[in-house]
Structure 1
Amino acid sequence: MSDSKLADEDYIIGTNDLEVKRLGLQHTLWRESALGAWRRAGIRPGMRVLDLGCGPGYASFDLAELVGPEGEVVGVDQSEFFLKALEHGARIRGLDNIRTVHAAIDAFDWPDAEFDAVWTRWVLCFLPDPKSALDGIVRSLRPGGVFVAQEYVDYRSFRLEPSEPVFDIFVDAVDASWRHFEADPNVARRFPAWFAELGLEVDELTPVHYAARPADPIFRWPISWLEEAPSRLVELGFLSQDDANEFNAFIERRKADPATLLMTPCVLTSRARKPG
């Protein structure tokens, strides 16, 4: 087990220009799913929306367009690097209805009943105390406000076939990194119980799970991460360099084989409403 500690502004998967680019690809491929979730949640012009763990702002930009100039999006992230990318992106898009807050989620000063909606994607799974964050989310919602999330519910449903033993070694290393930092790769499994405890009304629990072959656009999303992750896991001490080299060769074989089948980790789109 690694003794590595993350810097205050760091992420398990890193914060750098390459990660900004990867997150852009990720949002492009998941954009329609997010837009659908927001439409079903009733997010509309004039609303105030919190984008929790906003990263470089790709979802924030779409939310800002959705709520319009009379609405506002507040993006919260612990990475100043990502927030600067968001602010630059907002300027070049002419979006002046986005405000950023530099704060770790576990240190965020939650306002009372300030937002009509809170959105988060692949954020609570990285927190050591996601229930505390959910408590803050509920407090920050106005009566009738809605929480919308896309989080992993079954990470080990992630498959790349035909498989080889090194793939399972890699997934074990990913899981170990999550657990070491007291995070939960299957955090969405706990949402229904937490929603009930907090008095939220559950509107939606929809699994999202893609199958893809190398020629399919969605194939690029996990592959772009699989190409970057081994070096990060080596850096953090969860994967040996030999295993990383073997895994990289495995990925190249799978990319080159048109018969490859990739199953993305199952994500749960969750929507719950604060009574009122």
Structure 2
Amino acid sequence: MKTEPNSGSLMGATVSGFELAGASDADLAELKASLYRHRLLVLKDQHLEPKEFVALGRALGTIEVYYEPMYHHPEHPEIFVSGTKPGDSTEGVPQTGKFWHADYSFMSNPFGITMTYPQIVPKTNRGTFYIDMAKVFAELPDRLKDRLRGTLVEHSPRRYFKIRPTDVYRPIHEVQAEIEQVTPPVFHPTVFTHPVTGEEILYVSEAASFGFVEPDGTRLPPEILQEVLERSGQLDTGFTDPHIHLQSFTEGDLLLWDNRALVHRALHNPRPEPAQSYRVTVHDDFPFFGVAG
């Protein structure tokens, strides 16, 4: 197994020669260490069956099965299916993740590792955007860092909830009420220390964050969240902000990233073109939030 940092990129490394079938405990430990070091890994020349993709997830930690069944692979519910096959609407959900987010931030116990395995790769405009929120926090002015440390941030999926087939013809207020019941808002540390790297992470996303709160419940002015999102690059609709990294991929690539440190956003082709990816999400060996900042 060989790991090479992506030359000239903001983050990431390419891993060649990794084979799950022959991977030792030392190989898996090295893979995870590289993941935390580089944030984002692209494993080349992977040709895995769905059950093998699930096995890789289990080798890295404990798999989190997504709470909405409509995203599940028909034979392996551990796999979240993004996108559909041409002529087959029974597997997957189209146009997912078209907004900045960290996976499962709206749940009480998010996971540390996300893996995606493209199955149908579009010919053009393929890839995923990423922002390193440790780097963003390090570059904030001291006045803003001091204001955010010790606060909480509200997370909820309600801004971009995907309408399900069972929601058709239902009154919208019923759907909204169910969202609030199944996934009520959660409050996480705005800033926490990464349990492996020791860096301070700013846990804020355009999709799921709804404002900062003091421990006593006092809400901070909404302008502070707006400023943080602007400084991070998440409000840049042209994707030219220097914090934004576009990771492309091709057939046989498998992507792993640090779901604590990175927010991401899917790149969708404006023209109709088949695209589908499998996703497995994993709790690693560490508490997600480490120590609150």
TM-score by length of 1: 0.28
- Tell me which of the two structures has the higher relative contact order, counting C-alpha pairs closer than 8 angstroms and 6 or more residues apart: 2
- Report which of the two has the higher share of helix: 1
TM-score by length of 2: 0.27
